[in-house]
Structure 1
Amino acid sequence: MSGRARVLIWHRAPDGGPGAVEDAYRAISKELAGTPGLLANELLGAVDDAGRLLVMSEWESLAAFLEWERGADHRTATAPLRPFQDRERDRFFEVYEVRDAFGGE
C-alpha cells in the first residue's frame, strides 16, 4: 500500500467554455509548485461534456494533504478556481486514500 491520497474537485465551466477554468488551474499549479507532499495534479475534461472538468491532485499521504489544507495559504492559493466548483453535485470535493495500486507495465 502506498499511503498516497488523491483529492478530486469537480468544476463546471462558464458558458464561454473551459478557458477560464484552464487559466485558473494553470495559475494555481504554478503557485503550488514545490508544496511539501504534493506529488502532481491534473486537469481532466469530460469527453462527453466540455464544460465538466475535474482537478485531481496526488499527495504523498493523507497527512500531507491535511496539513496543507489546514494551512494559511490553502484558501488564497486555490481561490481562482473556487467560482467554478460544481456545487450542483452532491459532493463536489472528495478525498481518497490509495489502498492498493498496480503499475501495469
Structure 2
Amino acid sequence: MNEQTNEDDHGYRVLFLLRLKPGTAEEFLHAYEKVRWEVASLPGHRVDQVCQSTEDPDDWLITSEWHSAADFLEWERSPGHRELAAPMLACVVERRSVRFTVRRETRVEE
C-alpha cells in the first residue's frame, strides 16, 4: 500500500452536479466524448470522471481534478471554454459547481 499525503501537492477538485433534460443522456455522453481529451491535454489537468446516478438517470456528476486552482481558472476563463462546454450544457436543465482544495489523499497502488 502506498499512502500519498504530500501536503505541497494538494490539488484542486471541481464537482459539477448536473440535472439533464429527460432523454438526453446519450447526447450528453456524445458531447462529453468530443471534449474530454482536449480538456485532458490542458496544463494542470489531472483527471476527470463523468458519473450517472444509480438512483435517478437524469442526475449526473462530473469531477475534474487540477494541479491548482490557477490551472482550472485559467481554463475556465479561456475563450474556448464556453464553446467546448456548450453541447453538453444544451442537455442540462440545472447545474451547480462546487470547488475544493484537496487536503489529503490516500491511494492504494496496485
**Shared topology, TM-score over 0.5?**
yes
Equivalent-residue separation in structure 2 for 1:59 and 1:8 (angstroms): 12
**Runs of 4+, deviation exceeding 4 Å:** none
Distance 1:85 1:16, change over 3 A: closer
**1:35 alignment partner, SS class:** coil
Taking the aligned partners of 1:85 and 1:4, their CA distance within structure 2 comes to 27
Pick which of 28-37 and 62-71 moved more: 28-37
| Structural RMSD (CA) | 1.8
Find 2:41's aligned residue among 11, 34, 44. Answer: 34
Aligned to 2:55: 48
Paired residues of 1:45 and 1:53 also in contact (CA < 8 A) = yes
| Cα separation, partners in 2 of 1:29 and 1:75, compared to 1, 3 Å | same
Distance in 1, matches of 2:103 and 2:49, equals: 20
**Largest Rg, 1 or 2:** 2
What is the aligned residue count? 102
Identity %: 31
Tell me by how many angstroms 1:15 deviates: 2.0
Pairing 1:77–2:84 present: yes
Unaligned runs of 5+ in 2: 1-6
Query: TM-score normalised to the size of structure 2?
Result: 0.80
Q: CA deviation at 1:17?
A: 4.8
Instruction: Report the TM-score when normalising by structure 1.
Output: 0.83
